[in-house]
Amino acid sequence: MITATTPPVSKSFLKDIDPLRRGLGLFQHMNDVCYFVKDQTGRFIMANEALVLLFGYSRESDVLGKTDYELVPRYLADNYFKDDQEVLFYGKEVVNKVELVTRNDLSVYWHTTTKVPLFSRDGAIIGLEGVTREFKPASSALGPYPELFKVIEFVESSYGKKVTVADMAEKAGLTIRTFERQFKRRYSISPIAYLKRVRINMACRKLAQGNQTIAEIAQECGFCDQSYLTKEFARMMRVTPQVYRDTHRV
């Protein structure tokens, strides 16, 4: 964005660049990052190849002009729409929000999403642009907290068992208080919230791909019974496990 403090040499160069196409060109070559632009009504105006494929299409033109409600299940679209309104009407930025994304094969994954407002030359908000990518806490994104890698591995292999914050802190070699602080600082969610997300994610996959009863899935995913799974699933996914299975059954 060109401002009053932008150096003259930069102004003369930037004024002739289409800022949106500049961003799209860059993100077209990043297969693990989905880039998009929406107008004030929530319609997709631009989408890179990764996002187009995520929605199950082969051409950008298949996505443009559509809203999230035409591309993903309503319970997910409702969440995306709510965040969009914060950006479009209040100018708030959504930064590294961890949320669910449905892929073209109906599998569900956690993504980190960032959205920022787009302004016209007179300063009015005319849309938003954003990026979303798969949430991979065990990747190089561990940054200054490499000890958390052991915790992520532990949760992903033990989600079906009883797991406490104390267990996770022990794996990290930290006190509970220090562990919770570092985990929250790095991932913007608490260790228990992350554990629940892993369990719900695995439940989603089993509901869509297997023939087990919901009670069996509850036990395998670390929930004490079907009732508790249904409660937590509905709170996070906005639908019951049975409705999710009926919608996503492969």
Structural domain contains residue 1: no
Residue 165: count of CB within 10 angstroms of its CB: 16
Number of domains in the chain: 2
Cα–Cα nearest to 138, from 159, 152, 156? 152
Q: What pLDDT sits at residue 7?
A: 60
Q: What is the DSSP letter of 134?
A: E
Among 72, 106, 134, identify where a domain stops: 134
Same domain, 184 and 87: no
User: Which of residues 105 and 65 earns the better pLDDT score?
Assistant: 65
31, amino acid identity? N
Among 87, 105, 134, identify where a domain stops: 134
Same domain, 129 and 229: no
Cα-flanking dihedrals φ and ψ of residue 154, to 5°?
-65, -45
pLDDT tens per residue, range 171-210? 999 999 999 998 888 777 899 988 998 899 889 889 988 8
pLDDT at 141 over 50: no
First to last CA, the chain: 46
Neighbouring-strand partners of residue 119? 125
Percentage, residues of the chain above pLDDT 90: 51
Q: What pLDDT sits at residue 203?
A: 92
d(CA 46, CA 14): 20
pLDDT at 5 over 70: no
55, amino acid identity? F
pLDDT tens per residue, range 39-69? 999 999 999 999 999 998 999 999 999 999 9
Residue with tokens 């708030």: 92
Cα–Cα nearest to 168, from 145, 196, 191? 191
pLDDT tens per residue, range 6-25? 566 565 665 665 655 555 66
Same domain, 96 and 124: yes
pLDDT at 150 over 90: no
Same domain, 108 and 37: yes
Which domain does 87 fall in, by range? 8-134
CA distances from 226 to 107, 123, 158, 197 (A): 21, 52, 19, 17
Please give the mean pLDDT across all residues of the chain: 84
